[in-house]
């Protein structure tokens, strides 16, 4: 090719590249008008700290450098619903204030639209030391011996029996955990072990306000005491943080406690598609809370109460994600009359369907287990 | 070859540009609206009335350069039209001001009281429209999104986008499924002031439905960019279901 022809080809190529007609508009790219310091950090601080603060249990996000480095995981977690980790909705449920639609859109737009920093401020996102969320507990029990991480592992579950004369014959309405090393305490359960199984007294997640049940619902502590089960997780194999000696705060019930029992709904569900499960209520009870126990990781369940006349009342809608076990409390006990039915409509996608986009790699279980905490 | 290099030099300026004072921009509208100036001609404004109930005010520097969000945030204004005063609200995503005004008959006079900074004096501007503003510039990066002024209008607009998307999926045309994603985000954001008007016992459900639409739109966005056809179809299916829930939550009837 002659020099003249090469020159013409070069100019034409560049002209084509600069021409807007040459840009294949797969769809319009996102450009963020939001900047980190002015718009995004306040949202992260309010909705995501202190779990995502330095020293928290999850990846730090409060500094620009950390958030910028994690824009893709942020997008995955936010759009999949994995974060923030509150997986039930319904007008009958008590719920903390959730991330708003506007805030979610701002975070996603920022993360997808170039993640601009903006003008740095003097604001240092700080995390206030955690206090007992329900006030001073009636009894505080500390793990008798600190848990120590095996240096070669990043996850561990530690179970310890806690008993005290102060608990004997008492009724518990709530329990809270104060971790000595919060950066490694991922979640915890407080249970009463029985020959037939376990009564779940409390399910603890970092920075949750422990839920209390309505209707004076409470758990009677047996002579064998309580079992605290703590799930530990380290982000790295940093040898600096290796031990924890958490304390459990116990809140006693009012003088007229009502015992809680569990109604479980359990059935196998297909790997993908829809399934409807119906549980008949034989004896009138009042539901004070519901607890997803297990199920397909990408499953969504809708609970509906159907009374004897066929009238339907939505109870709740939830994602069946593992790793964030919670008790979702009804704002008022929900009457389940004898002869009524609980319908659970569950929808799933094939395991791994979304993994490449959302990063969700858990498959969960093909056996759905939901528990209703009831009284009466 | 020399000609090629010169052409490149025109297309791709190389080297340091000499600092120059930016020329003053002509006093003319650019997007079919009516031109005005403020702050001693340091600011150029354009009042745009492209559809009933919605008045837009663009504000740029006298040299034609866009202003920063911080500069725009320091400005204040209100619109007087149809016997009512309405504040000018800055739409940060689009960097212009907007006011929801009453329905007007043509020709229409829209007065604006404008303050270029918290300490600046209030300037009165009058825009008299013989007809609606029609943008013939052809260089708008994105057509402005028409947000209906009523809840019913927003719901209907969501329905149209939903049905349009369903039709595309039905005929296997996934390529344009995300055309309306920006509009859907704006529409569901525009529902925010209507949440508090819902009965108290249903507000959480309404907000949860909106959140699901927003998540659904972003899932569709990412599925389109990085996913496969099955994920794109499923993402749209979730979005469509979330739109149904939102319509129902705000008192409409899902179709």
pLDDT, averaged in runs of 10, over chain B (255 residues): 46 38 66 88 89 84 78 91 86 80 83 93 92 62 72 94 92 82 91 90 90 96 90 94 95 69
Amino acid A26: pLDDT: 45
Average pLDDT (A279-285) is 96
C-alpha to C-alpha distances, B22 to B26, B40, B44, B61, B95, nearest whole angstrom: 12, 17, 14, 10, 21
Amino acid A171: pLDDT: 96
Q: Which has the higher per-residue pLDDT, B105 or A36?
A: A36
Buried (b) or exposed (e) across B205-214, using 16+ Cβ within 10 A?
bbbbbbbbbb
Q: Which has the higher per-residue pLDDT, B4 or A177?
A: A177
Q: Are A219 and A175 in contact (CB under 8 A)?
A: no
Interface contact flag, B214 A7, Cβ < 8 Å: no
Please give the Cα distance from A61 to A58 (Å, whole number).
Answer: 9
Nearest CA in chain B to A8: B4
Average pLDDT (A74-92) is 92
Strand partners, A248: A141, A177
Interface test with chain A among B2, B4, B74, B229, by most A beta carbons within 10 Å: B4
Please give the Cα distance from A174 to A327 (Å, whole number).
Answer: 11
Amino acid B180: pLDDT: 84
Average pLDDT (A205-212) is 90
Average pLDDT (A15-34) is 53
Please give the Cα distance from B4 to A10 (Å, whole number).
Answer: 8
Amino acid B139: pLDDT: 43
Interface of B with A in 134-163 (CB under 8 A): 142
Say yes or no: A331 contacts chain B, CB-CB below 8 A. no
Say yes or no: A357 contacts chain B, CB-CB below 8 A. yes
Partner residue facing A105 (CB), from B185, B223, B225:
B185
Q: At what angle do helices B181-190 and A101-112 cross, to 10 degrees?
A: 150
Amino acid A61: pLDDT: 93
- Total-model pTM: 0.73
Amino acid B102: pLDDT: 80
Mean per-residue pLDDT of chain A: 87
User: Picking from A67-76, A123-132, A285-294, B3-12, which range would have the lowest pLDDT averaged per residue?
Assistant: B3-12
Say yes or no: A25 contacts chain B, CB-CB below 8 A. no
User: Picking from A21-30, A357-366, B184-193, which range would have the lowest pLDDT averaged per residue?
Assistant: A21-30
Does the pLDDT of residue A11 top 80, yes or no?
A: no
Please give the Cα distance from A367 to B9 (Å, whole number).
Answer: 67
Interface test with chain A among B96, B175, B198, B204, by most A beta carbons within 10 Å: B204
Model confidence band, residue A361 (pLDDT cutoffs 50, 70, 90): confident
Model confidence band, residue A23 (pLDDT cutoffs 50, 70, 90): very low
At A62, list the tokens: 């409060």
H/E element holding A348?
A: strand A341-348
Q: Are B255 and B163 in contact (CB under 8 A)?
A: yes
Listed residue (B184, B246, B248) closest to B221, CA to CA? B184
Model confidence band, residue A25 (pLDDT cutoffs 50, 70, 90): very low
User: Picking from A133-137, A307-311, A347-351, B60-64, which range would have the lowest pLDDT averaged per residue?
Assistant: B60-64
Does the pLDDT of residue A358 top 80, yes or no?
A: yes
Q: Which has the higher per-residue pLDDT, A324 or B106?
A: A324
Amino acid A16: pLDDT: 42
């Amino acid at each position: 090719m002659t020099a003249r022809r090469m020159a013409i080809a070069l100019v034409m190529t560049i002209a084509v590249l600069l021409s807007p007609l040459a840009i294949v508009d797969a769809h319009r790219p996102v450009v963020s008008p939001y900047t980190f310091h002015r718009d995004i950090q306040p949202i992260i601080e309010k909705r995501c700290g202190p779990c995502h603060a330095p020293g928290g249990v999850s990846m730090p996000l409060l500094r620009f450098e950390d958030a910028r480095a994690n824009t893709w995981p942020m997008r995955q977690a936010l759009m999949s619903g994995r974060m923030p980790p509150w997986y039930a909705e319904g007008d009958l449920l008590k719920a903390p204030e959730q991330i708003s639609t506007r805030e979610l859109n701002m975070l996603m737009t920022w993360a997808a639209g170039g993640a601009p920093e903006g003008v740095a401020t003097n604001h240092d996102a700080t995390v206030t030391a955690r206090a007992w969320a329900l006030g001073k507990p009636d009894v505080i029990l500390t793990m008798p011996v600190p848990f120590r991480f095996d240096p070669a592992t990043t996850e561990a579950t530690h179970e310890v029996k806690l008993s005290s004369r102060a608990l004997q014959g008492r009724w518990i309405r709530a329990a809270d955990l104060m971790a000595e090393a919060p950066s490694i305490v991922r979640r915890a359960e407080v249970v009463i072990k029985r020959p037939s199984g376990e009564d779940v007294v409390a399910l603890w997640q970092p920075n949750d306000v422990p839920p209390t049940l309505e209707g004076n619902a409470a758990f009677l502590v047996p002579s064998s005491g309580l079992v605290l089960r703590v799930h530990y997780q380290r982000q790295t194999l940093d040898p600096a943080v290796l031990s924890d000696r958490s304390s459990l705060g116990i809140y006693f019930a009012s003088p007229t406690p009502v015992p809680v029992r569990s109604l479980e709904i359990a059935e196998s569900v297909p790997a993908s598609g829809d399934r409807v499960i119906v549980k008949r209520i034989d004896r009138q009870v009042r539901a004070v809370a519901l607890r997803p126990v297990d199920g397909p990781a990408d499953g969504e369940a809708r609970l509906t109460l159907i009374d004897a006349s066929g009238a339907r009342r939505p109870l709740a809608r939830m994602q069946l994600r593992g790793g964030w076990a919670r008790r979702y409390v009804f704002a008022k006990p929900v009457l389940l009359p004898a002869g009524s039915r609980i319908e659970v409509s569950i929808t799933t996608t094939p395991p791994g369907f979304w993994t490449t986009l959302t990063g969700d790699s858990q498959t969960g279980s093909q056996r759905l287990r939901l528990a209703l905490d009831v009284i009466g | 070859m020399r000609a090629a290099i010169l052409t490149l030099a025109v297309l791709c300026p190389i080297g340091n540009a000499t600092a120059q004072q930016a020329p003053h921009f002509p006093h003319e509208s650019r997007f079919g609206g009516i031109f005005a100036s403020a702050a001693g001609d340091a600011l150029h404004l354009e009042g745009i009335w492209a559809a009933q109930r919605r008045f837009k005010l663009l504000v740029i520097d006298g040299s034609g350069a866009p202003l920063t969000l911080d500069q725009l945030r320091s400005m204040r204004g209100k619109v007087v039209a149809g016997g009512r005063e309405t504040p000018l609200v800055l739409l940060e995503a689009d960097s212009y001001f907007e006011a929801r005004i009453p329905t007007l008959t043509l020709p229409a006079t829209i007065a604006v009281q404008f303050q270029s900074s918290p300490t600046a004096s209030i300037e009165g501007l009058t825009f008299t429209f013989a007809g609606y503003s029609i943008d013939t510039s052809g260089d708008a990066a994105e057509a402005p999104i028409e947000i209906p002024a009523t809840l019913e209008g927003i719901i209907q607009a969501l329905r149209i986008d939903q049905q349009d998307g369903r039709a595309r999926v039905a005929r296997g045309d996934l390529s344009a499924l995300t055309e309306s994603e920006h509009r859907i985000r704006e529409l569901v954001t525009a529902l925010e002031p209507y949440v508090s008007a819902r009965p108290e016992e249903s507000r959480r459900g309404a907000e949860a439905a909106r959140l699901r639409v927003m998540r659904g739109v972003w899932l569709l966005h990412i599925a389109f960019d990085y996913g496969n056809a099955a994920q794109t179809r499923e993402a749209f299916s979730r979005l469509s279901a979330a739109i149904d829930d939102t319509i129902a939550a705000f008192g409409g009837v899902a179709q």
